[in-house]
Amino acid sequence: MEKVLEARHIDKYFKKPILFQVLKDINFSVAKGEFATIMGKSGCGKSTLLYILSTMDTDYEGQLFLNEELITGQSPNKLAYLRNKHIGFVFQFHYLLAEFSVLENVMLPAKKLGEKSVMDIEKEAIQKLGVLGIEHLAKKKASMISGGEKQRVAIARALINNPSLLMGDEPTGNLDSHNSDNVLSIFRQLREDYGLSLLIVTHDKDFADKSDRIITMEDGRILI
Amino acid sequence: MINRKVILNIAKTHLLTKYKQTIVAALGVTFGIGSYITLSGFMTGLNGMLDDLILNQTPHIHIYNEIQPSEKQPIASFDEFKNTFNVVHSVKPKQTQKKIHNALPLMNYLNRDPKVRGALAQVKVQIFYIAGSIEIGGNLTGVDVMKEAELFNFNDYILQGTAADLKNNDNGILLGIGLAKKMSLEIGDRVQISTIRGEIFPLKIVGFYQSGIGDIDNIQSFANLKTVQRILGEPENYVTDINVKLHDIEQALPLSKRIEQQFKLRAIDAKTANAQFETGTQIRNLITYAVSATLLIVAGFGIYNILNMLIYEKMNDIAILKAIGFSGKDVQLIFLSQAMIIGIIGGVLGLLLGYFLLITIDQVPFKTEALPTITTFPVNHNIIFYIIGICFALLSTFFAGYFPSQKAKKTDPVRIITGQ
């Protein structure tokens, strides 16, 4: 099976305040079209792992493959490009650029990638917003919409470059159950309709139960 | 190219949404640059006025015969005392004529020199002004008045009356204003002057002369060259001084040295003649530079401060931008371009502010007895201040933006997102 993301023997140390090994020999992979969740107690290292996998954190030992290509040790510019093109990211807190309109927020990663004309990007952004059922918000300012809407805008932004993988750091952690169900169904739908791979860190057992695979972590190791 | 557009767009949005902050930052630059230009223009304007006060009326090279002792005393030519140690007491100056020998050919020679703008003959003579039974000592200078007006701004120093009035009147005199006050004389009156030999001539007052230096105005008067030659009973080739104006004042020293050697005359360049004045100019310039540098540095720190705050406020945005695929360099460029936009807008406004302030200062009345031609404060609209101003605005905003943006570049998005 085709692997979107693979981690081999990943170790990570926190050097301050004392030397502490957060991640111990992490080996796992996410297949194409797979909906995986990472669960574990607070402090078990799941967020740390996610940020390593997202290529934002480069201070680790071991090897990381994206679309079967080694990305460990690549230049920051190249990593930024890979992140832009192949990885969509959704945070616990909405994390939109408050000064920009919803549409501009969604368009931004595609503009950065610069593969399409602004007209095409705009069309696509509106289409993504449509998929998430919020195209009527397009012209609003990002700071003027509700929390659940912000999270959906963030998902639309994560999808704009048609990434191979969508990562989430507790994307529903800050939402009520209604919105949280909403996000979950959006994720499932995206997987089915577009074959998107998903890797989501969550605390929410109900949420995790509805995914294809649950990766449980404890004390810096993967249990299952 | 596309990248740059996206980055500029983000920078623009940041600046526009925080427009109050942007305006404050830009105004910081504006006031810094504006006050730099105003101050430089005003101070150098004043300096220039003081320089002109001296240099406009001083010739670049002044050639005359100086009364001085012979460098080689007669005993030195006497062979028998060649190898002895000779002491000459009470050395007296050599008897020389005041007149410059062969003055007319010398002037022709100087006027042909491409470095020379003009060489003018003068006859200086000591006279007495006679007011009833009182004799006031003074100087009368015979000049080629039209050329003096052309080369040495002579018209600036004539009160009531013009150079042409003098030119057209063979018995005319431009009387020093101090003298005129002492003797209660008006234009059209006659003043009697007496030469050292005692001959008395009546001259008609066609105007007053005011140099701005009281001591000069109390003794100095001007008449036509021919008039003075006639008073002295000397022929047309009787010239006591030659004033030379050059195209470039820097050439004065070498040329004066050459003239001294070649013609055995005394030739003094303006800078040597006004050495202490030069020192004053240099110190005033130094003060100007020090004050402008201080202004620019203060402005620079203001800009740095505001940009630093701007970037701290935008930490969240920096993390998001990095997470969605903007590289550190992109983020740095966003903040750097914000700084540069502030610098350009603030700088250009600063140029305008400086320009308008200078124009305003230029209109403020400033009357002083010492400077008859000055009616408003002098300013110097030198383009170089505007160039320095805008360059500094750009440079300082670049550096003020560079260090905070370097920080933005290095910021670890994970730390911000995870709230560590």
Token pair belonging to B125: 């003579």
- Cβ distance A112 to B320 less than 8 Å, yes or no, reads no
pLDDT at A92 over 80: no
Quickly list H helices, B248-274: 252-263, 270-273
* 3-state secondary structure (DSSP) of residue B248: coil
Helix (H) or strand (E) run with residue B392 in it: helix B383-410
pLDDT of res. B222: 92
Instruction: State the Cα–Cα distance between residues B203 and B189, nearest whole angstrom.
Output: 9
B324 and A113: CB-CB below 8 Å?
Answer: no
CA–CA separation, B188 vs B207, rounded Å? 8
- Which of A91, A97, A109 faces B417 most closely, judged by CB atoms? A91
pLDDT of amino acid B173:
92
Query: In chain A, what percentage of residues exceed pLDDT 90?
Result: 0
**In this structure, are B347 and B306 located in the same domain?**
yes
Q: Find the closest chain A residue to B413 by CA distance.
A: A56
The alpha-carbon gap from B22 to the nearest alpha carbon of chain A, in Å, equals 14
Q: Which residues are bridge partners to B2 per DSSP? A: none
Å from A139 to nearest chain B CA? 15
- Look at A54 and B324 and tell me if their CB atoms are within 8 Å: no
Query: Is B39 found in the same domain as B160?
Result: no
Query: What is the rounded distance in angstroms from the CA atom of residue B36 to the CA atom of residue B350?
Result: 9
Contacts of A104 in chain B (CB under 8 A): 13
Choose the closest CB to B325 out of A91, A99, A112.
A112
Domain end point (choices B268, B295, B315) = B268
Please judge whether B328 and A80 are an interchain contact, meaning their C-beta atoms are less than 8 angstroms apart: yes
Q: Are B40 and B288 in contact (CB under 8 A)?
A: yes
Q: What is the pLDDT of residue B371?
A: 66
Q: How far apart are CA B349 and CA B405, in angstroms?
A: 24
The answer to whether residues B49 and B66 belong to one domain is no
Nearest CA in chain A to B409: A76
Range of the domain at B305: 2-55+277-417
Task: Judge contact between B93 and B186, C-beta under 8 A.
Answer: no
What pLDDT was estimated at residue B11? 84
Claim to verify: residue B99 and residue B203 sit in the same structural domain: yes
What does the alpha-carbon distance between residue A21 and residue B57 come to, in Å, rounded to a whole number?
Answer: 86
B267 sits in which H/E element: strand B266-269
Residue B376 in contact with partner chain A when CB distance is under 8 A: no
Q: Work out the minimum CA distance from B27 to partner chain A, whole angstroms.
A: 23
Check whether residue B233 and residue B324 sit in a common domain. Answer: no
Closest-CA residue of chain B to A161: B324
- Cβ B323–A112 below 8 Å, yes or no? no
pLDDT at position B419: 67
Q: B185-212 burial string, b = 16+ CB within 10 Å, else e? A: beeeeebebebeeeeebebebbbbbbbb
Last residue of a domain, one of B214, B234, B268: B268
- DSSP H/E element including B347: helix B328-363
Q: What is the mean pLDDT of residues A94-115?
A: 81
Same domain, B282 and B400: yes
The CB-side HSE value for A11 (13 A sphere, CA atoms) comes to 8
Instruction: Judge: A99–B327 Cβ closer than 8 Å, yes or no.
Output: no
B324 vs A108: CB contact, 8 Å cut-off? yes
> pLDDT value at position A120?
85
What one-character-per-residue DSSP string does B185-236 give?
Answer: --TT-EEEEEETT--EEEEEEEEEE--S-HHHHTTEEEEEHHHHHHHHT--T
Task: Supply the pLDDT for residue A224.
Answer: 66
User: What residues in chain B have per-residue pLDDT under 70?
Assistant: 1-2, 369-373, 418-420
Can you tell me the mean pLDDT for A64-79?
Answer: 81
- Say whether both B412 and B355 belong to one domain: yes
| B chain contacts of residue A85, beta-carbon cutoff 8 Å | 325
**Can you tell me the distance from the alpha carbon of B221 to that of B227, in angstroms, rounded to the nearest whole number?**
13
Selected for mutation to probe chain B from A20, A22, A49, A51 (highest B CB count within 10 Å) is A51
Amino acid identity of B22? T
In chain B, what percentage of residues exceed pLDDT 90? 14
Question: Residues B234, B318: one domain?
Answer: no
Domains of chain A: 3-222 (3.40.50.300)
Q: Does B325 contact A95 at a Cβ distance shorter than 8 Å?
A: no
Which of B7, B324, B330, B410 would you mutate first to test chain A, the one with the most A CBs within 10 A? B324
User: pLDDT tens-digit profile of B143-182?
Assistant: 998 888 888 888 878 888 888 888 898 889 999 999 899 8
Residue A17: asked if its preceding bond is cis (omega within 30°), the reply is: yes
pLDDT at position B142 is: 92
Residues 6+ apart with CB under 8 A from A10: A23, A25, A26, A27, A49, A52, A60, A61, A62, A63, A64
Of B242, B268, B294, which residue constitutes the final position of a domain?
A: B268
Residue B241 sits in the same domain as residue B353 = no
B177 and B38 within one domain: no
Q: Which of A27, A32, A22 is nearest to A10 (CA)?
A: A27
Evaluate if residue A95 carries a pLDDT over 90. Answer: no
Number of domains composing chain B:
2
For A175-199, the pLDDT digits (tens) are: 777 777 888 888 888 888 878 888 8
A-side interface with B, Cβ within 8 Å?
47, 51, 54, 56-57, 76-77, 80-81, 83-85, 89, 91, 95-100, 104, 108-109, 111-114, 157-158, 161, 169
Q: Which carries the bigger pLDDT value, residue A84 or residue B141?
A: B141
For residues B180 and B259, state if they share a domain.
Answer: yes
Q: Residues A7-57: pLDDT tens digits?
A: 788 788 888 778 887 777 878 888 888 888 888 887 777 778 888 888 887
Both B66 and B51 in a single domain?
A: no
pLDDT at B127: 92
